[in-house]
Amino acid sequence: MARRATLPDILANAKIELMNCASFRRDRVGFERWRERALDHFEDALPNIRADFHLKVGIGLARFGNYVKAEAQIQQALEIASAHELHEFVFRIERIKSGLRECEALANVESTATEPAQWTEQLREVSASLAALSA
């Protein structure tokens, strides 16, 4: 039996989109805040909303470098979408899931980049100051 979207469904969808926007902006606090708010009445949400939530949580976690948890969330989205025959979601989720490992590998390469060969003394000083500030 199909049911029409209700106000809670519409609100949940809006919260999920705001959560996704926060992760896109690399706003970890905003992402977590909207993620918590999106969980209100989550168990009553339509399957497409639940699948979208898990997908976008997974994308957000990947953006913040947490690939293990991201993969688990994306897998949960895939299971929901498959169980409810949400074919468009299944295709989109599978495509994103297949690219997740590539993103993780690229992030690992970027994080292990070596120091430029021709650093000047001023650049080393600025780099050391920034490192001290972030510690």
For every one of its 135 residues, what pLDDT tens digit does the chain have, with 9 covering 90 and above? 345 667 888 899 999 999 999 999 999 999 999 999 998 878 888 999 999 999 999 999 999 999 999 999 999 999 999 999 999 999 999 999 988 877 766 666 555 555 555 557 766 777 777 777 765
pTM: 0.74
The encoded tokens of residue 75 equal: 């897998």
Q: What CATH number should be reported for the domain whose range is 7-113?
A: 1.25.40
The encoded tokens of residue 8 equal: 């809670």
- Taking CA atoms, 7 is separated from 3, 41, 44, 49, 88, in Å, by 12, 11, 12, 13, 24
Give the domain ranges of the chain: 7-113
